[in-house]
Chains A and B, each alone.
Chain A
Amino acid sequence: MSIATRRRRRRKSERSALQIVEEGFHLLRTIDVSYYVWFYLGAVPFAVGLLFFTADQSRSSLAEQSAPGAAMLMALLYFWMRFCQARFCGGLWETISPGHLPDRSAIEKFRSVAALFFLQALWLPMVAVGLFFALPLGWIVAALQNFTILAATQNYGGRPLRNIFSDGLKHSHYDWAQNHGILVVMVIVVLFTWLNLVAACLVITTFGKSFFGVESVFTISPTAAIMNTTFLLGSLLLTWMVISPMMKAAYNLR
Chain B
Amino acid sequence: MASVLGDTSCSIHPDRQGSARCPICRQSYCAECITEHEGKLTCASCLCTMHETEAKPKARRSFVIAPFIQIVIALALCWVAYYLFAQTLADVPDDFHDGTIWE
Contact = CB atoms under 8 A, between A and B. Distances in A.
A243 B33 CA distance: 59
A250 B6 CA distance: 66
Interface of B: 59, 62-63, 66-68, 70-71, 73-75, 77-79, 81-83, 85-87, 89-90, 92, 94, 96-103
Given A57-B89, A124-B81, A158-B62, A228 B98 contact: yes
Contact of B86 (A67, A113, A223): A67
Given A72-B79, A79-B74, A122-B77, 16 more contacts: A57-B85, A57-B86, A63-B89, A70-B82, A71-B79, A71-B83, A75-B78, A78-B82, A79-B75, A114-B66, A117-B74, A224-B99, A224-B103, A226-B99, A228-B99, A229-B92
A110 B67 CA distance: 7
Interface of A: 53-54, 57-59, 63-64, 67-68, 70-72, 74-76, 78-79, 107, 110-111, 113-115, 117-118, 120-122, 124, 158, 161, 221, 223-231
A114 B70 contact: yes
Q: Which label, helix, strand, loop or mixed, suits the secondary structure of the B interface? A: helix
Contacts of B86: 53, 57, 63, 67, 70-71
5 contacts: A63-B89, A67-B83, A67-B90, A71-B86, A121-B78
Given A75-B79, A223-B103, A63 B59 contact: no
A74 B82 contact: yes
B82 A75 contact: yes
Contacts of B87: 67
Nearest to A114: B67
